[in-house]
Amino acid sequence: MPVNQLNAFQMAQTQFDGIAAKINIDPQVREVLRYPAREFRFQIPVRMDNGKIQVFFGFRVQHSDARGPAKGGIRFASNETLDTVRALAMWMTWKCAVADIPLGGGKGGVVVDPSTLSVGEKERLCRGWIDAVWHDIGPRVDVPAPDVGTTPQMMAWMMDEYSKLAGHYSPSAITGKPLGVGGSLGRTEATGYGVVDTIREAMKHLGMKPEKTIAAIQGFGNVAQYAAIAYIKELRGKVICVSCYDRNDQVSYTYSRKDGIDPIFLQSITDQYGTIDQAKAKDAGYTAEEAEAWIAKEADVLIPSALEGQINSDNVNRIHPRVKIVAEGANGPVTPEADEELKKRSIFDIPDFLCNSGGVITSYFEGVQNDMNYYWDHPSVLRRLDQKITKAFHDVLETSLERNMYMREAAYTVAIGRVVDAMEWRGWI
């Protein structure tokens, strides 16, 4: 099958197979890691506001718990499938391992467009998700968190439902909670800030001056918003565009402004589902261009921070010759074919599970704070995040330089090596 027709799980397996062969992972171990350890697929009947029951389908996949409890977000998306969740669960295993946090990989999902639900319906769906799987998750088993389409409020309902069923307050059963119900300072901006921490290190390595650089960002969800803010605040660079899906027009737009975008202003005109108010943006001097205009911008750094498969064989040739770094804020944004092209062009790629690991690193900190029932201040969280992700970046860079490997391959080498090591110590292989 041509690689561009692979679904997300086949893509995750292809990446894994390629690197496993290259670094000589025992074929029996490969067979274990190619598939998730456990999968749950369940129905969630929800009483809707009109009094009728609607059945939703939910998933939770635990790919590996060799290094610790499975960990990973829950997506609410209308095109969610068991295969997308499997892929994302596998990527979480590598993400936690590369970040060197004592957690495994998991992911969950519900087939739903959350913008079609009322607040009450959302709450009942979240509680229903927990009712269906609470026996198989928990602080020492598998810890969910937010992802595309889910929010801290939803995590609070889920934590509450889990606590009620468990019979005791269990904040560390779910991370990404709001402050005040066991959330951590810094969790909201963690993924975007972490993305920029890795870009800063890549620029040091490549000898680039951050304040002279331009970034083009795809997306304007949680990751993209804080990556834009940190790029301007921490690196003093310019962000030339972001993009977003417009729910009213049902298409995506790239919003750009010649002198650079102002992410705080754009946040103030973005609704809770990530749609930027087009009229207000135009009034403020922004141009709304076609969806993929972001990829062709004359920029030094591309930060795809939306969904998987966004840089692919159809558009990879549109990348401007000036681009030196692709920093993968999203999970799986580059298809294997496009990846070959990036390699050929010697673009420095910061692979997703390294680049966007700031979210789960801070989720880990959240769980640690919950368990000791003592909470760190904001600068302490961001400092620890920076230390952890910078160390992860250099572990990967070192491997890449020592073994003459592309960054993605080096990241897999580090991550798979750590997982296999845990499996060996535990006597599983």
So which residues are the catalytic ones? 107
Shortest separation between residue 136's beta carbon and ligand GLU, angstroms: 16
147 binds ligand GLU (CB under 6 A): yes
86 binds ligand GLU (CB under 6 A): no
Report the C-alpha gap between 245 and 82 in whole angstroms: 24
Among 198, 213, 225, 363, binds ligand GLU (CB under 6 A): 363
Shortest separation between residue 395's beta carbon and ligand GLU, angstroms: 18
Shortest separation between residue 277's beta carbon and ligand GLU, angstroms: 26
62 binds ligand GLU (CB under 6 A): no
Among 64, 175, 256, 310, binds ligand GLU (CB under 6 A): 175
Among 72, 105, 128, 219, binds ligand GLU (CB under 6 A): 72
User: How many C-beta atoms surround the C-beta of residue 44 within 10 A?
Assistant: 22
Contact string (CB under 6 A) for ligand GLU, positions 330-359, x = contact: -x------------------------x--x
Report the C-alpha gap between 336 and 322 in whole angstroms: 22
Stretch that binds ligand GLU, among 70-78, 258-266, 321-329, 409-417 (CB under 6 A): 70-78
73 binds ligand GLU (CB under 6 A): yes
Among 145, 203, 230, 350, binds ligand GLU (CB under 6 A): 145
Shortest separation between residue 187's beta carbon and ligand GLU, angstroms: 8
Encoded tokens for 158: 């889920």
Nearest to 48 by CA among 112, 158, 124, 103: 124
Nearest to 38 by CA among 79, 78, 86: 86
Stretch that binds ligand GLU, among 69-77, 247-255, 265-273, 387-395 (CB under 6 A): 69-77
- Report the interface residues with ligand GLU, using CB under 6 A: 71-73, 95, 145, 147, 175-176, 331, 356, 359-360, 363
